[in-house]
């Protein structure tokens, strides 16, 4: 069927294409759709992780906390969200190997819905911990405390207007405090309408094999996985 109407472009993307025009502005209906989506995203930022529901799926895994005491502090002090509370640091077992960190990030609903299924999709038996009010780099503290050779951080991504359930996955080889973001690899937009759990799990394993061979993650580890799972 050929595309004739401008609004038919919506068939190809969830982006807000083909909205029409009122003068140069967005028509009233589309304008209020936007306002409604923004309201939902604002509320999602303040949603909390339901830790007990997660443990019901993941088992009795350790529950940790960053140095950011509450959400407001978390938003204004990312440095505190990157650091593991000292008492938690001392309580962690030294497991070595690869460790999975489930973190709330900027929107808990993404990991709430997908973290347990992601752990199953990885199917590797790696130890899991949950951490609240956390930023990506908290994986460095946790990995270091557990003597891990690699850390896989599953973290809620900043909510957008069209997705409030997106999860990011960050891989860091030899995690320790002071690693920079250039030393990590990231898979973002893991959600039902984005990258599937299966594709993300395949990529995590592929990247970890590369990291082991290279002795590093980050910009040095090029993502040239050939049978690119994103091409569908």
> Among candidates 205, 190, 197, 120, which has minimal Cα distance to 155?
190
Cα(177)–Cα(30) distance, integer angstroms:
46
Of the residues 37, 63, 124, 202, which one makes contact with another protein according to CB under 8 A: 37
Q: Which two tokens stand for residue 215?
A: 């002795």
Cα(100)–Cα(113) distance, integer angstroms:
16
Of the residues 18, 62, 127, 147, which one makes contact with another protein according to CB under 8 A: 18
In the complex, the smallest distance separating the C-beta of residue 182 from another protein, rounded to whole angstroms, is 4
Of the residues 30, 63, 121, 202, which one makes contact with another protein according to CB under 8 A: 30
| Residue 150 host element (H or E) | strand 150-156
Write b or e for each residue in 35-60: b if 16 or more Cβ atoms lie within 10 A of its Cβ, otherwise e: eebeeebeebbebebebeebbeebee
- Return the number of the residue (112 or 166) whose C-beta is nearest another protein: 166
Looking at 130-194, list the stretches that DSSP marks H as alpha helix, in order from N- to C-terminal side: 138-145
In the complex, the smallest distance separating the C-beta of residue 11 from another protein, rounded to whole angstroms, is 8
What is the pattern of x (binds another protein, CB under 8 A) and - over residues 106-135?
A: x-----------------------------
Q: HSE-up of 1 (CA within 13 Å, CB side)?
A: 5
In the complex, the smallest distance separating the C-beta of residue 218 from another protein, rounded to whole angstroms, is 7
In the complex, the smallest distance separating the C-beta of residue 232 from another protein, rounded to whole angstroms, is 8
Of the residues 29, 32, 36, 42, which one makes contact with another protein according to CB under 8 A: 42
- Return the number of the residue (95 or 188) whose C-beta is nearest another protein: 188
In the complex, the smallest distance separating the C-beta of residue 191 from another protein, rounded to whole angstroms, is 8
By CB under 8 A, what part of segment 191-230 binds another protein?
A: 193-195, 218-219, 222-226, 228, 230
Cα(115)–Cα(150) distance, integer angstroms:
18
What is the pattern of x (binds another protein, CB under 8 A) and - over residues 158-177?
A: xxxxxx--x-----------
């Amino acid at each position: 069927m050929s595309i004739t109407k401008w609004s038919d472009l919506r068939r190809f993307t969830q982006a807000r294409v083909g909205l029409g025009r009122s003068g140069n502005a967005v028509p009233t209906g589309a304008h209020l759709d936007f306002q409604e989506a923004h309201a939902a995203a604002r509320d999602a930022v303040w949603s909390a992780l339901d830790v007990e529901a997660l443990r019901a799926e993941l088992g009795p895994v350790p529950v940790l906390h960053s140095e950011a005491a509450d959400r407001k502090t978390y938003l204004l002090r990312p440095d505190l969200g990157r650091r593991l509370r000292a008492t938690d640091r001392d309580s962690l077992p030294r497991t070595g190997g690869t460790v999975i960190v489930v973190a709330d990030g900027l929107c808990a609903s993404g990991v709430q819905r997908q973290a347990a299924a992601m752990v199953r999709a990885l199917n590797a038996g790696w130890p899991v911990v949950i951490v609240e009010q956390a930023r990506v780099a908290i994986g460095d503290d946790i990995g270091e405390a557990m003597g891990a050779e690699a850390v896989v951080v599953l973290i809620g991504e900043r909510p957008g207007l069209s997705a409030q359930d997106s999860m990011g996955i960050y891989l860091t080889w030899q995690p320790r405090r002071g690693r920079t973001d250039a030393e990590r690899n990231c898979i973002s937009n893991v959600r039902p309408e984005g990258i599937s759990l299966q594709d993300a799990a395949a990529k995590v394993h592929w990247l970890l094999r590369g990291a082991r061979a290279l002795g590093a993650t980050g910009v040095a580890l090029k993502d040239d996985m050939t049978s690119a799972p994103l091409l569908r």
